[in-house]
Structure 1
Amino acid sequence: MPRPTIPRLSPERIRRIGLEIIDTDGLEALSMRRLAERLGVRAASLYNHVSTKEDLLHEIADGVMTAVDVSGFEVDWTTGLRTWARSYRAALIAHPNLVPFLAYGPARRETALRRADAVHGGLTEAGWPQRYATMIGASTKYLVVGSAMGSFSSGFPDDAALYDDRFPHLSRAHLLREHAAEIDADSFELALAALINGLQKQYRELGSNATPKE
């Protein structure tokens, strides 16, 4: 009789199925035992490809970061920020359950560190002092991660009677949930535009100084 087919394991397949579990059931749902069951193998087989669950999470997170586009910095720093922020947000929104893990920073993840290096390099090469480049990267990340962590608009109940006379300035808040995706996206763009506009003013002021402070 033919031998039973044993599913082939590969790092790519392990990461893909691991991400599917996180996307469907949340970050805490991922375990080596559950992952092995989904892959149709014994848990011990996974350790030939990944040492720990923590290492696997870093590999999954690094894979998600490949969707983040930093090529805009080759044009100019404002294009770079817009492209980076929008693609970063899109990558996080596609995998919201992974956002809390990604929010801690790049750690030792190769792709994430390369993206951070490109952002910092793009800003400093444009003339931003090192300290400002660090703060701009942090500020943009706060905006992106905050936007991806949850929906502002979806948090309002759609019961019009709830607001009545007690909350007169929220008389149309019951409509927010229906248009949540659009409002949240537009709100992100508004905040991003405000950030970049403010930075452009700061950039001009720094440029007018003979010796800007680091």
Structure 2
Amino acid sequence: MPGPQPLTRERIRDATLRLVDEFGLDAVSMRKIAAALGVQAPSLYAHYPAKDDVLRDIAQTVADQVDVSAFADGWRAGVLSWARSYRAAMVAHPNMVPYLAFGPSDRAGALDRADAVFGGLTAGGWPPRRATMISASIKYLVVGSAISSFSSGFPDEKAVYEGRYPHLGQAHLLRERAGEIDQDSFELALTALVEGLGHPPSR
């Protein structure tokens, strides 16, 4: 009969991410991580000194799914691929979004990706200030679309709307189509933003 699995950083990260996905960031502690793994909290400290060290590693793992390689094919292709993969990484773990968006900016790889985005935009002809604004605009769009669902604000009871909100007769159906609506709305905003940028100024 096989013995207990050895405690590894990977197992700790996986258990922590499951807790974050289910209960949110604020509900996670080293004690709860240890309980989920069937060990005592002190045994975690040989691998991670504190909860934030675990979260930093998780954030890096999630952020590593963001693809900036398409800037080699031009700034438009780069922005679209970057934004879509950025959002996909966040949507997969929505409770991590606040940490990914506002957590430490010195995580391994974060500055490499920022450099690739800024370099791709400036190589495509955008002046540095405009490239910075484009990068920021994409981040606002991605984080805003990932942090909550548009449909979550609408009750799914038809009676709420009948007789009082004549233009919201189908609003009770929004929640059952939330994923589709959120994805399509993100694509609408992203393509409108990129198309609205037009072309870089002539040099």
1:81 to 71, 79, 82: 79
Match of 2:115 in 1: 117
Would the alpha carbon gap of residues 105 and 142 (structure 1) be closer, same or farther in structure 2, given more than 3 Å must change?
Answer: farther
Aligned partner of 1:144 in structure 2 is: 142
C-alpha displacement of 1:113: 2.4
Corresponding position of 1:34: 32
* 1: CA distance, partners of 2:36 / 2:63: 24
- Cα distance in 1, alignment partners of residues 159 and 30 from structure 2: 48
TM alignment of 1:1-214, pairs within 5 A: 5=3, 7-104=5-102, 107-201=105-199, 203=200, 206-207=201-202
- TM-score (normalizing by structure 2): 0.91
Cα distance change of structure 1 residues 60 and 21 upon mapping to structure 2, 3 Å threshold: same
Structure 1 window deviating more from structure 2 (151-160 vs 68-77): it is 151-160
1:12 CA drift (Å): 1.9
Q: Please give the alpha-carbon distance, in whole angstroms, between the structure 2 residues aligned to 1:163 and 1:128.
A: 47
Does the CA contact (< 8 Å) of 1:89 and 1:148 recur in 2? yes
CA distance in 1, matches of 2:72, 2:55: 31
- Segments of structure 2 that go 5 or more residues without pairing to the other structure are none
Letter in 2 for 1:130: P
Distance 1:113 1:137 in 2: 13
Give the TM-score, by structure 1 length: 0.87
| Cα distance between partner residues in 2 of 1:153 and 1:144 | 17
**What letter matches 1:36 in structure 2?**
A
* 1:193 partner letter: T
- What SS does structure 1 have at the residue aligned with 2:109? helix
Counterpart residue identity of residue 160, structure 2: L
Unaligned runs of 5+ in 1: none
Residue 178 of structure 1 and its aligned partner are, at CA, apart by 2.2
Deviation, 1:6, is: 5.2
How far apart are residue 185 of structure 1 and its match?
Answer: 0.8
Give 1:101 deviation, angstroms. Answer: 1.0
Hey, what's the Cα distance between the residues in 1 that align with 2:70 and 2:127? Answer: 19
The structure having more radius of gyration, on CA atoms, is: 1
How many residues are aligned here? 202
SS in 1 for 2:155: coil
Taking every aligned residue pair, what percent have the same amino acid on both sides? 59
Tell me the CA shift for residue 175 of structure 1.
2.2
Q: Name the CA distance, whole Å, in 2 between partners of 1:132 and 1:164.
A: 47
In structure 2, C-alpha distance between the alignment counterparts of 1:34 and 1:161, rounded to whole Å: 41
